[in-house]
Amino acid sequence: MNNILNSIGLLKKPADTTVVVAMSGGVDSSTVAGMMKNEGYNVIGITLKLYNDSKEVASSKQCCSGQDIMDAKRVAQKLGIEHKILYYQDKFKQGVIDNFVDSYLKGETPIPCIQCNQTVKFKDLFEVSKELKADALVTGHYVKSITLDNETNMYRAIDENRDQSYFLFNTTREQLNYLRFPLGGMLKDETRSIAKKLDLNVADKPDSQDICFVPNGDYASVIRKFRPDSFKKGNIKNLEGQVIGVHEGIINFTIGQRKGIKVSDIDPLYVLKINSDKNEIIVGPRDKLGKKNININNLNLLVDKSYLSKDIFVKVRSTGRLLNAKINLKENNSAEVNLKDLEDGISPGQACVFYSLDQKGYKVLGGGWIVN
């Protein structure tokens, strides 16, 4: 009997282990597929077709486009692995795009990448991988996963500029025990170096930068396409409740925004609040942007609640820094987050992700969605 853990933490020889690799067509997932193949695993690559490309999407730097699917197919052929394409356009629209549009119309700042991971990518891909009798689902996310005693915990990647743990906080415990993230302990340059050694055609491919279904970062165009009647003029008010201007639609604004307000004052004005029910935005000086208390709902915890009784760290935006905080759990799967210091630009619709520091790094404890 084999008593030695393989490279993904399972008590099986690689030759006796089947893994599904989620292949987006980018350099990261392609490299992971190559690494798994080279280590002797039985590899099945799966690529998801999530939306129908427009000319704008096809020419922008986005993931999961038609070109990406072709790139993934070529990589699979190069590696000599089985490759499947799953057509999930309807599921993606219902689970991700519709939520994105609805969230913006409520004055929130949504994160469709988390919704995509939570629904289509991990939920459906998880089920398909199980049906294929795979031992693990492997992805190219920059997250560290450490498996001990058949339980996997998630940590921030060593490359903090690439760390994607924020986008994966809604992963369930069952999914996490099945997922593997080989790139979490590597730098991006190392990934590209491996891709070049494997002679993969995507070794120098630029990273995707935009939300996959948003052409060139133009969110308003997506709203206009799916809800053309949603662009309604409304009032811009100051903190005293006085009308000081008119906007062309609340979907053009996010919390903390300065550009596009088109109202002059002694000091620069920033969006402080969006009242979707009244179709109005509230603006004021930058020193009014700071918050110390945040309410969140729909909590997803990957650890016992006792972890949250101590001082922890939180992240309130994908590009933000770690903030010192205390968590006060409440009823109905909600919580109040008390920050040690004021933080600007905290927006409903964003995620608040919890971390604690131990000997292995910053461990992901879970998180929730910011309400106000």
pTM of the shown model: 0.90
- pLDDT of residue 59 exceeding 70, the answer is no
Model confidence at 205: pLDDT above 50: yes
The 10 Å Cβ neighbour count of residue 2 is: 10
**Residues tagged active-site:** 116, 212
- pLDDT of 82-125, one tens digit each? 999 998 888 888 888 888 888 888 888 888 888 888 877 888 89
Q: What pLDDT was estimated at residue 57?
A: 45
- Residues with Cβ within 8 Å of 13's Cβ and at least 6 positions away in sequence, in order, are 2, 6, 40
Please report which confidence band the pLDDT of residue 228 belongs to, taking 50, 70 and 90 as the band edges.
confident
Domains of the chain: 14-217 (3.40.50.620), 231-288 (2.30.30.280), 291-370 (2.40.30.10)
Show Cβ contacts of residue 179 under 8 Å, excluding neighbours closer than 6 positions.
Answer: 122, 136, 137, 138, 139, 145, 152, 171
Q: How far is Cα 270 from Cα 12, in angstroms, rounded to an integer?
A: 56
The Cα 74–Cα 37 span in angstroms is 15
State residue 265's pLDDT score: 87
Q: What mean pLDDT do residues 261-274 have? A: 92
Query: Strand, coil or helix: what is 236?
Result: strand
- 3-class SS of residue 72: helix
Question: What average pLDDT does range 223-246 have in this prediction?
Answer: 90
Task: Give 122-154 pLDDT, tens digit per residue.
Answer: 888 999 999 999 999 999 999 998 887 778 899
Range with lowest mean pLDDT among 73-77, 141-145, 241-245, 262-266: 262-266
Higher pLDDT, 162 or 217: 162
